[in-house]
């Protein structure tokens, strides 16, 4: 059985289908989705339908992203800000324009069922964004940090690559887990559409929300497959 981790999708339905095919995903694989299924791309409803269907046939864990929390609020009829619309929410509004309350309910149920993080038996942590407490995820007071924080990734980038974990100045947050898998901050910001790793923090947001690439990775071998996104 492989454990496959999937980065931010952002409504890129065709890319999701393609990347699952390229990785030759089977029901024997464990799929861990890092969140942000919604917004930016045009096909958030189709992506959610596909994930709901996959739950019936595959082993999978779906984590909560910040855009998923916002999308859930929208589907529940809560007032939404223009800031959300300008960061991908407008595409979601358009996609659900003809959906009835009953049509939306399975998507609401799915989004409300998402987990904030997964810590596996090998001390590998999976979450959308990060955490801030030096004691780790079990001590995080503000649970929204699991899908909003950017400081964990910035900390990993800012810490010198050669610094040993035994150094008294080595960040405690980076020493707690064997590996950490996140999305949330596109690697495009650092000049690449490939996954990035710093101090065993793996970032798999390779820019699907910005017409770049969607990535799925085998966490044991670090082999990965990508699909180009064309949502224009």
Residue range 146-153: average pLDDT?
A: 98
| 164-206 per-position pLDDT tens digit | 999 999 999 999 999 999 999 999 999 999 999 999 999 999 9
Cβ atoms 31, 25 nearer than 8 A: yes
Residue range 50-70: average pLDDT?
A: 98
Residue boundaries of the structural domains of the chain:
3-228
pTM beyond 0.85, yes or no = yes
Q: 3-228 architecture in CATH?
A: 4-Layer Sandwich (3.60)
Q: Is the pLDDT of residue 232 over 60?
A: no
Q: Is the pLDDT of residue 51 over 90?
A: yes
Residue range 24-32: average pLDDT?
A: 98
| pLDDT confidence of residue 230 | 74
| pLDDT confidence of residue 231 | 63
Q: Is the pLDDT of residue 156 over 60?
A: yes
| pLDDT confidence of residue 229 | 85
**Percent share of the chain, pLDDT over 70:** 99
């Amino acid at each position: 059985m492989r454990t496959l981790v999937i980065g931010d999708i952002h409504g890129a339905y065709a890319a999701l289908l393609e990347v699952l095919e390229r990785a030759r995903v089977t029901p024997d694989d464990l799929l861990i989705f890092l969140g942000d299924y919604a917004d930016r791309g045009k096909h958030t409803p189709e992506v959610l339908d596909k994930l709901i269907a996959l739950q019936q046939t595959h082993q999978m864990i779906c984590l909560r992203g910040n855009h998923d929390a916002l999308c859930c609020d929208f589907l529940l009829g809560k007032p939404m800000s223009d800031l959300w619309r300008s960061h991908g929410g407008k595409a979601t509004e358009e996609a659900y324009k003809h959906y009835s309350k009953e049509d939306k309910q399975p998507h609401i149920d799915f989004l409300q069922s998402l987990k904030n993080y997964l810590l596996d038996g090998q001390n590998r942590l999976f979450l959308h964004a990060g955490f801030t407490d030096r004691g780790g995820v079990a001590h995080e007071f503000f649970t929204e940090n699991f899908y909003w924080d950017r400081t964990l990734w910035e900390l990993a980038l800012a810490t010198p690559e050669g610094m040993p974990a035994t150094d008294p100045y080595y960040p405690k947050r980076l020493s707690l887990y064997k590996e950490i898998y996140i999305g949330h901050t596109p690697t495009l910001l650092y000049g690449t559409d490939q996954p990035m790793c710093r101090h065993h923090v793996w970032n798999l947001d390779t820019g699907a929300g910005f017409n770049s690439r969607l990535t799925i990775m085998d966490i044991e071998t670090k082999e990965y497959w990508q699909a180009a996104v064309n949502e224009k």
